[in-house]
Structure 1
Amino acid sequence: MVALIFTIHLFFATVYLVIKEPEVVVKNRKIIFDYARVSLGVLGLLIASGIASLTTVKEAIMPQMNIVPWQILIIFFGSAYICSSLDESGVLKFVAYKFATNTKNGRELFFKLTLLAGILTVFTSNDIVTLTLTPIIVYIAQYAHIDPLPYLITTFFTSNTWSMFFYIGNPTNVIVAQAYRLNFATYAKYMFLPTLTAILTSIIGFYLRYRNKLPESITLESKESFSLDKVIKDKRYAFLSSAFFVVFFFTIALGDVVGIELWKAISIFSAIYLLLNLAFSDVLSTRDEVVVEMGRFDYNLTFLVDTLRRVPWKMLPMVVTFFVFVHIFTTFGLTRYLSTFFSFRDELIGTVVTSFVSAFAANIMINQPMTIFFAQMLYDRPVNYAMSLVLGSNIGGNITLIGALAGVMWSRILKYYNIEMNNKKFTRETFLIAMLVLLFSSLAIHLFTKIF
């Protein structure tokens, strides 16, 4: 009991420190306790106290109830590497310019980007869409000299909403589908009405919120100032990078049909991009930071290293630490104990409560560990609980930046482009609409279960 109480306190302390990222000054040197340092320190403390061990860490990422956490890690970090490589080619800048030249005003751009983000998410995953579209929106804003915030917020929210249609849209969907043994068609049938409700609610909500901020016209820089040679670093690399991405897109979109699991497809294409970046690194490197000498020749690996650096590796210890917490809570029986609170006589109350509680819980322990935790609690409950968990795990990522891995990654991408996005700013823009989406979609889940 003492160990469980200590672990719970340590868990909430970890959440606080991850959000706060405190700073200390030691000998005139400022040290920031970011989420990587905090997570490693907490993991070390758990091991040192005897509550966890290296075996516990291993078990936490191993298969549990048909759920495989280590595959989730491959999906996330592999996607980040593939999309970062595509961006480094300059192709996304070119696409952004062409996209903007065919758009007359901010309202048209709003609906075009929303629809594009939604359609891409349905056939791929929310993380991949966020990684791909964010640079495009930033480049469009730079070319057209407009505020990117309405478009960035809306497309991010969109990718975390349309992702509920099919279970390939978000790894959390896969977790729920595996826990409830739902196949592709059954999952899609259950989530169609709730997802459609969420889409309509969010589009109307964000349009009403941003309609006065959307520019009446979009004027781009003159074509003379836009040079293809400036944005495309190497045409051969740009062609190969784009071609592989198209193949990658169709592979994951049709993966369930051809029998290729998402994590396997991402692993294969991560390896392809690694080899591609290695082959072109000497040509694309703009400085001599990492040079390997081979006899009388040398090879510049700086470009390869730079693309690897763009992957948010600091998130790895944080995610693993939360997986360890979930595993410890399950071992102590906390999961089984909390499941007793999710037995409601009224199906409507059960649906709404599960949706809201899981959505807010995602912002305490990140949506993927949270979904594993709740799936273990609710696996023997009626299917409306599964649908509510899908809803909460997806929409929970729209409440704060730590509600989903995509949110933390997205804020780091924006920082790369010198755009500041913190939890306070993000929540101010999304909270009300997220609450409306949770409410109306919960009602849609209840309606569906009543009818069918």
Structure 2
Amino acid sequence: MNELSSLQDGVVLAVFAVVYLGMVLGSLPWLHLDRTGVALLGAIAIVGAGVMTPEQAAQSIHLPTILLLFSFMVISAQMRLGGFYSAVTRRIAVLPVGPAALMGVVIGVAAGLSAVFSNDIVCLAVAPVLAEACLRRRLDPVPFLLGLACASNIGSAATLIGNPQNMLIGEVLKLPFAGYMADAVVPVLAGLLALWALLAWQMRRTPPVAEPDPAQLAAIASEVPPFDRWQTAKGLLVALALVGVFLCTDWPRDVAALVGAGVLLLSQRFHSSKVMGLIDWELLILFMGLFVVNHALALTGLTQQLVAWLTTQGIDLAQPATLFFTTLGLSNLVSNVPAVMVLMPLAKGDHVGLTLALVSTLAGNLLIVGSIANIIVVDAARRCGVVIDWRRHARTGGPVAVVTLGIAAGWLAAQ
């Protein structure tokens, strides 16, 4: 189906507008739908209105991206069940160093883990353990939790498997894993250094916190899975093998990752239902729903007309600066994954992949809602009795976003 009727064009525009309104608001007024529900409902409306058949809707979903994302969710689930993230965090927490040095270690480890295992998963597993460790040492956990969130976002920009939008960009645009990593590592490392300097400066006058409640610490610790050396080693071996495959071979990343996930499912210790229970099915459904809705919009031809009109107005998405600021604004408006899905078909040029990946990821530090990792850390902090409101987040996230995006802009301009 290459052409739609004017009535179908109207239906697609209405569905697209409603879906992306849901992306902006996080839900739809008067309905108990989150972003995933809105995207799924939009895809159902597209098929129900006859814009695409169910088969065409299925074909519009970029399967390699879904498979890659699913496979790394399986790998990350293995690491969580093996207690890897908790064990690493506790090992860091007992280091005999001062707060500034401890912050540097937290930032470095969080960034490194996020580059391989995805920032959302790292924050989900590390945040409660880190909060508990800070309270035991009578350190204010807020700067460390903010450091975890920001470092996970920044570190995830280093690779094409660090976060969902980078997986999408890498798979759709066929970016080389090693080539992208070489281009991204400098602004990422500079951004992490800037993050440490800012947090160390903010912490210089932070007083010790009160003696923690033992019952509260016990409740946090009870939720942490025990460390399993063999299961952790197996997950690490598969993850490192996949990174080696991505760097040194041209084996399709989605196929290689799927094989790795299959190996991990062959376990005598963890039932597959436990692993499947840790898969973020909602994120996968969000991706699939947005693929269908965005493809339906492309069928109308209106996106091409919009790009042509914008070009006549001096707004050319082929220009790096225009794409940079458009990505920055749209990522904070509708979140980074929907922003990337909208912009990727519209922008042209060799700079598109690196610009979209760096800017959409680094922009996530600006607001709490700009990144799922931020939301995960704030929710985990609240469960531990630690409050991080939007003002407190902004005092760190705002400067970090401005500085790291400035570094990225300078690096992109120099390419």
Query: Under a length normalisation based on structure 1, what TM-score does the superposition of the two structures give?
Result: 0.71
The residue number in structure 2 matching 1:7 is 15
Is the aligned partner of 1:62 residue 2:62? yes
Q: CA deviation at 1:272?
A: 4.6
* Percent of matched pairs sharing the same residue: 17
Question: Contact between 1:125 and 1:170, CA under 8 Å: does it hold in 2?
Answer: yes
Question: Contact between 1:82 and 1:269, CA under 8 Å: does it hold in 2?
Answer: no
Distance 1:398 1:275 in 2: 37
Q: CA deviation at 1:111?
A: 0.9
* Residues 197-227 of structure 1: CA deviation (Å, up to 9, x unaligned): 43343333333344444x66999999xx99x
The residue number in structure 2 matching 1:82 is 78
Question: Contact between 2:183 and 2:354, CA under 8 Å: does it hold in 1?
Answer: yes
The residue number in structure 1 matching 2:5 is none
Question: Contact between 1:123 and 1:168, CA under 8 Å: does it hold in 2?
Answer: yes
Q: CA deviation at 1:112?
A: 1.0
Q: 1:394 to 1:16 in 2, by over 3 A?
A: closer
Distance 1:78 1:121 in 2: 15
Is the aligned partner of 1:443 residue 2:410? yes
Letter matched to residue 258 of structure 2 = S
Is the aligned partner of 1:357 residue 2:326? yes
Question: Contact between 2:92 and 2:105, CA under 8 Å: does it hold in 1?
Answer: no
Query: How many residue pairs were aligned?
Result: 401
Question: Contact between 1:348 and 1:443, CA under 8 Å: does it hold in 2?
Answer: no
Question: Which of these two proteins has the greater Rg computed from alpha carbons?
Answer: 1
Distance 1:434 1:192 in 2: 17
Distance 2:187 2:342 in 1: 23
Larger deviation, residues 436-445 vs 336-345: 336-345
Is the aligned partner of 1:161 residue 2:154? yes
Q: 1:364 to 1:356 in 2, by over 3 A?
A: same
Pairing partner for 2:290 from 315, 322, 327: 322
Is the aligned partner of 1:191 residue 2:159? no
The residue number in structure 2 matching 1:149 is 142
Q: 1:116 to 1:95 in 2, by over 3 A?
A: closer
Is the aligned partner of 1:252 residue 2:231? no
Q: 1:307 to 1:10 in 2, by over 3 A?
A: same
Is the aligned partner of 1:242 residue 2:232? yes
The residue number in structure 1 matching 2:33 is 33
Q: 1:364 to 1:318 in 2, by over 3 A?
A: farther
Structure 1 residue runs of 5 or longer lacking an equivalent are 25-31, 282-300
SS at match of 2:346: helix
Q: 1:208 to 1:417 in 2, by over 3 A?
A: same
Q: 1:16 to 1:441 in 2, by over 3 A?
A: closer
Pairing partner for 1:114 from 107, 115, 131: 107
Question: Contact between 2:103 and 2:196, CA under 8 Å: does it hold in 1?
Answer: no
Q: CA deviation at 1:114?
A: 0.8
Q: 1:418 to 1:44 in 2, by over 3 A?
A: farther
* Residues 149-202 of structure 1: CA deviation (Å, up to 9, x unaligned): 322222222222233334344454454455665434443443344334433433
Distance 1:364 1:171 in 2: 17
Is the aligned partner of 1:337 residue 2:330? no
Q: CA deviation at 1:58?
A: 0.8
The residue number in structure 2 matching 1:288 is none
Distance 1:325 1:41 in 2: 10
The residue number in structure 2 matching 1:43 is 43
How do residues 362-381 of structure 1 correspond to structure 2 at under 5 angstroms?
Answer: 362-379=331-348, 381=349
Q: CA deviation at 1:14?
A: 1.9
Question: Contact between 1:166 and 1:188, CA under 8 Å: does it hold in 2?
Answer: yes
Distance 1:404 1:8 in 2: 22
SS at match of 1:437: helix
Q: CA deviation at 1:251?
A: 1.8
Instruction: Provide the aligned C-alpha RMSD in A.
Output: 4.2
SS at match of 1:165: coil
Letter matched to residue 370 of structure 1 = A
Larger deviation, residues 93-102 vs 151-160: 93-102
Distance 1:49 1:415 in 2: 43
SS at match of 2:398: helix
SS at match of 1:187: helix
Query: Under a length normalisation based on structure 2, what TM-score does the superposition of the two structures give?
Result: 0.77
SS at match of 2:411: helix
The residue number in structure 1 matching 2:397 is 430
Question: Contact between 1:362 and 1:403, CA under 8 Å: does it hold in 2?
Answer: yes
Question: Contact between 2:320 and 2:355, CA under 8 Å: does it hold in 1?
Answer: yes
Letter matched to residue 104 of structure 2 = F
Question: Contact between 2:95 and 2:102, CA under 8 Å: does it hold in 1?
Answer: no
How do residues 197-346 of structure 1 correspond to structure 2 at under 5 angstroms?
Answer: 197-213=190-206, 238-259=228-249, 262-264=253-255, 266-276=257-267, 279-280=268-269, 305=273, 308-340=276-308, 341=310
Q: 1:443 to 1:233 in 2, by over 3 A?
A: closer
SS at match of 1:167: coil
Q: CA deviation at 1:442?
A: 0.8
Q: CA deviation at 1:438?
A: 1.6
Distance 1:308 1:418 in 2: 29
Question: Contact between 2:22 and 2:34, CA under 8 Å: does it hold in 1?
Answer: no
* Residues 334-358 of structure 1: CA deviation (Å, up to 9, x unaligned): 4423444369989999433322321
Letter matched to residue 241 of structure 1 = Q
Structure 2 residue runs of 5 or longer lacking an equivalent are 1-8
Larger deviation, residues 147-156 vs 122-131: 122-131
Q: 1:50 to 1:247 in 2, by over 3 A?
A: same
Letter matched to residue 346 of structure 2 = M
Q: 1:61 to 1:406 in 2, by over 3 A?
A: farther
Question: Contact between 1:93 and 1:231, CA under 8 Å: does it hold in 2?
Answer: no
Distance 2:364 2:45 in 1: 28
Q: CA deviation at 1:429?
A: 4.3
* Residues 226-284 of structure 1: CA deviation (Å, up to 9, x unaligned): 9xx9899777xx122222122133223323245365544543454454443xx446xxx
Pairing partner for 2:97 from 104, 112, 125: 104
Q: 1:212 to 1:116 in 2, by over 3 A?
A: same
Question: Contact between 1:121 and 1:159, CA under 8 Å: does it hold in 2?
Answer: yes
Distance 1:364 1:57 in 2: 26
Distance 1:352 1:38 in 2: 32
Letter matched to residue 256 of structure 1 = F
Letter matched to residue 267 of structure 1 = L
